[in-house]
Amino acid sequence: MASNVLGNGEFSFDNKRRTGLPKIQTQKTDDENVVCHDDSATPVKAQTLDELHSLQKKKSAPTTPIKSPHVFGVAVSEEERQKQQLQSISASLASLTRETGPKVVKGDPARQAETPKVQHPVHHHPTPTLNVSDSGLKFTHILYNLSPAELYEQAIKYEKGSFITSSGALATLSGAKTGRSPRDKRVVRDETTEDDLWWGKGSPNIEMDEQTFLINRERAVDYLCSLEKVFVNDQFLNWDPNNRIKVRIVSARAYHSLFMHNMCIRPTPEELEDFGTPDFTIYNAGQFPCNRYTHYMTSSTSIDINLARREMVILGTQYAGEMKKGLFGVMHYLMPKRNILSLHSGCNMGKEGDVALFFGLSGTGKTTLSTDHNRYLIGDDEHCWSEHGVSNIEGGCYAKCIDLSREKEPDIWNAIKFGTVLENVVFEDHTREVDYTDKSVTENTRAAYPIEYIPNAKIPCVGPHPKNVILLACDAFGVLPPVSKLNLAQTMYHFISGYTALVAGTEDGIKEPTATFSACFGAAFIMLHPTKYAAMLAEKMQKHGATGWLVNTGWSGGSYGSGSRIKLAYTRKIIDAIHSGALLNAEYKKTEVFGLEIPTALEGVPSEILDPANTWPDKKAHKDTLLKLGGLFRKNFEVFTNYKIGTDGNLTKEILAAGPTF
Ligand SMILES: Nc1ncnc2c1ncn2[C@@H]1O[C@H](COP(=O)(O)OP(=O)(O)O)[C@@H](O)[C@H]1O
Ligand SMILES: C=C(OP(=O)(O)O)C(=O)O
Ligand SMILES: [Ca+2]
Ligand SMILES: [Mn+2]
């Protein structure tokens, strides 16, 4: 319908023109309002479409100096600082046999404007021309601390299996490995680590020599430098400012870069400018296998730690958790040296400042239970306990997503949005709705998100000394009580035992639960003998008056197959009662075999489930299973009977007596 704009801004229908098309106005009028523009905004400042697209992206801040840059107190120019940064990255990627770093240039090779001509390459040491192989002639483009949006684009463009889900998360595939490979972990044994580290039976530290490490390092570096581009993340570990560690992660995949962006502490632009040399570097060449002819290699996967060189090399696995847990191992070495206890635990804090630690092996509930809508989240997995209190090592969380539901775990559900890495999940092809029940790729589906995606995260992630130390065990045998109060010796006994019982693959019908004992609830990550960490924990718990608890998040009413997993809602009630202090003064009775103090009643939880003996229909089966588990505990503890824990001889005796008696 033809319309006309009146001088006063009102519309009226022009009846006179009804019969034909409106006349096109070709003459400029004085009154701008009369002209019908297709939009009222000022026209774009571009002459061509290319130019228009170039306007979409503005130059980001980090490349401009925030304050006058200094190196060792001497003012340096911005140009000089950039040069030093490239030099440092080049040195990180240096081949050791050719004694040279690659020619590195910042930026995406796909972007024409950032070809090597512009920024001149930085040679760490000039390579003699005769010695140059083809690889020495090429540039390695460095995608340095990209933002999540940029990493999304890189992943979607270049990495098969990368998709945006309906909630905005980045779905990725981690490849053939969908979990960690503890048997492929190697630690360099040299004069220092020989004496410092825990070696031999039960230890996660499988030795390798320096030479073999260098062979794998060279393999990883050559692989990375053969690529057109690599990702470099410079980030921090540990929210305790006095014990912060600078880490550099060199990787080939946007998936890995975004994962570590989320999981480590993200530097501010100012902190990044002054980053300098990293304290520890990861070379993640996970797509490339190790050479099985190499000494110490027993598969095509190898995760190698060299504490003297402050380096870690990853070959033959793309599972991202390997990087975060690898660094955790490093912290388990560095922190105790500073008299700081490193802990495989979740941590949260109540409104009154009461801190709780949640220890437990994978899948026992650290992430789920520390993410509590009524409390502040300090962290879900890795912490330090120093003389000033607790601090999270990481900047993000890594939640299991199998059977995740919005109702039961709303905070984790809502954290799966833009920026979050969703590993190995299955989604609907068109809507990109994730089916969290689908185990087609793996049961170990995961979401990695920055900690601030949890609404009540405590930033900075630090807190006072813990009041409660909760040991989580997912007991698929169904004989451990849902909650027990522990004395110090019992806490130490269960901490050193590090028990859980998971159920191996469900494909061939119902299987027996398998007991896992993992010292300090994290034997795969500890570097020193378990008693070193146990002694520190005992000392700290004693000094700060913390109470120990054992919580079974596993089976009730029978073992796996006949009983069922304790409802998450009940476990939450139990945890609430620990936090509030209500459980501290409850009425208790002692269980047989394990001698655990169990409450007789607890608000919100049916009393009959508090004692497993009540819930098993078959009393004999219960007793047999209880004795069986007691035997497994006793057998596991044999290796620790010869060790002294701390300086207190009495405590050692008490700990040994705190195990099952039958
Ligand atoms: N009673 C329970 N307590 C804790 N977690 C439970 C319980 N029942 C089921 N679960 C599920 O078990 C898993 C615990 O995994 P998670 O919290 O990621 O463990 P961790 O962080 O210790 O590896 C989650 O998927 C959670 O939904
Ligand atoms: C990241 C891991 O830790 P958790 O299962 O304890 O969350 C893992 O075991 O790979
Ligand atoms: Ca600066
Ligand atoms: Mn976890």
Rounded to whole angstroms, how far apart are CA atoms 375 and 350? 5
What is each CA distance from 550 to 170, 484, 598, in whole angstroms? 36, 5, 10
Tell how far the Cα of 377 is from the centroid of ligand 1, in angstroms.
16
pLDDT at 124 over 70: no
* Residue 507, pLDDT score: 45
With bands split at pLDDT 50, 70 and 90, how would you rate the model's confidence at 24? low
Ligand 1 in reach of 368 Cβ (< 6 A): yes
Catalytic (active site) residue 190: no
Catalytic (active site) residue 70: no
pLDDT at 15 over 60: no
In the predicted model, what is the mean pLDDT of residues 370-396? 98
- Helix 530-544 vs helix 321-337: crossing angle, to nearest 10: 70
What is each CA distance from 381 to 11, 184, 363, 376, 391, in whole angstroms? 64, 22, 11, 15, 11
In the predicted model, what is the mean pLDDT of residues 228-244? 97
Ligand 2 in reach of 322 Cβ (< 6 A): no
Nearest Cα to Cα of residue 622 among 511, 526, 479? 479
Catalytic (active site) residue 344: yes
* Residue 541, pLDDT score: 98
Rounded to whole angstroms, how far apart are CA atoms 329 and 333? 7
Is the fold of 170-463 the same as that of 466-657? no
Q: What is the CATH number of domain 466-657?
A: 3.90.228.20
pLDDT tens digits, one per residue of 171-196: 999 999 999 999 999 999 999 999 99
Reply yes or no: is the peptide bond before residue 460 cis, omega within 30 of 0: yes
Q: What percentage of the chain reaches a pLDDT higher than 70?
A: 85
Report angle CA 226, 227, 228 to the nearest 5 degrees. 125
pLDDT tens digits, one per residue of 73-108: 566 788 888 889 999 999 999 888 876 677 888 888
Q: H-helix or E-strand containing 291?
A: none
Tell how far the Cα of 269 is from the centroid of ligand 4, in angstroms.
29
Q: Which position among 366, 458, 494, 532 bears the catalytic label? A: 366
Enumerate the β-bridge partners of residue 391.
Answer: 384, 462
Choose the weakest-confidence range: 41-55, 453-467, 503-517, 589-603: 503-517
Nearest Cα to Cα of residue 574 among 546, 590, 551, 600? 551
Rounded to whole angstroms, how far apart are CA atoms 215 and 196? 24
Catalytic (active site) residue 420: no
Rounded to whole angstroms, how far apart are CA atoms 87 and 230? 15
Mean per-residue pLDDT of the chain: 88
Tell how far the Cα of 275 is from the centroid of ligand 4, in angstroms.
29
pLDDT at 647 over 90: no
With bands split at pLDDT 50, 70 and 90, how would you rate the model's confidence at 572? very high
Choose the weakest-confidence range: 133-147, 180-194, 200-214, 250-264: 133-147
Report the CATH superfamily, name and number, of domain 170-463: Phosphoenolpyruvate Carboxykinase, domain 1 (3.40.449.10)
* Residue 105, pLDDT score: 86
Residue with the smallest CA separation from ligand 2 atom 10 is 321
For the chain, the distance separating the N- and C-terminal CA atoms, rounded to the nearest angstrom, is 94
Nearest Cα to Cα of residue 547 among 465, 644, 629, 624? 465
C-alpha neighbours within 13 Å on the C-beta side of residue 466: 32
Tokens 């949006």, located at residue:
149
Rounded to whole angstroms, how far apart are CA atoms 207 and 191? 13
Ligand 1 in reach of 565 Cβ (< 6 A): yes
DSSP character string of 353-400: --EEEEE-STTSSHHHHH--TTSEEEESSEEEEETTEEEES-SEEEEE
**Domain boundaries of the chain, sorted by first residue:** 1-35, 73-144, 170-463, 466-657
pLDDT tens digits, one per residue of 538-548: 999 999 999 99
Strand pairing class (163-164; 311-315): unpaired
The preferred substitution site among 368, 407, 549 for testing ligand 1, maximizing ligand atoms within 8 Å of CB, is 368
Rounded to whole angstroms, how far apart are CA atoms 440 and 438? 6
45-76 b/e (C-beta count within 10 Å ≥ 16 → b): eeeeeeeeeeeeeeeeebeeeeeebeeeeeeb
Rounded to whole angstroms, how far apart are CA atoms 589 and 484? 10
Q: Starting from the CA of residue 269, give the closest ligand.
A: 3
Nearest Cα to Cα of residue 610 among 583, 579, 634, 581? 583
In the predicted model, what is the mean pLDDT of residues 283-296? 95
Ligand 1 in reach of 444 Cβ (< 6 A): no
| Amino acid letter, residue 613 | A
With bands split at pLDDT 50, 70 and 90, how would you rate the model's confidence at 41? low
Catalytic (active site) residue 180: yes
pLDDT at 344 over 60: yes
* Residue 2, pLDDT score: 40
With bands split at pLDDT 50, 70 and 90, how would you rate the model's confidence at 568? very high
Residue with the smallest CA separation from ligand 2 atom 7 is 362
| Residue 137 CB coordination number (10 Å) | 9
Tokens 């304790």, located at residue:
566
* Residue 523, pLDDT score: 94
Ligand 1 in reach of 522 Cβ (< 6 A): no
Kindly state the DSSP code that residue 35 receives in the 8-state scheme. S
Entry pTM: 0.88
pLDDT at 590 over 50: yes
Rounded to whole angstroms, how far apart are CA atoms 64 and 59? 9
With bands split at pLDDT 50, 70 and 90, how would you rate the model's confidence at 234? very high
In the predicted model, what is the mean pLDDT of residues 226-233? 96
In the predicted model, what is the mean pLDDT of residues 332-337? 98
* Residue 23, pLDDT score: 52
Tokens 């930085």, located at residue:
122
* Residue 14, pLDDT score: 42
Ligand 2 in reach of 180 Cβ (< 6 A): yes
Rounded to whole angstroms, how far apart are CA atoms 143 and 134? 22
* Residue 29, pLDDT score: 45
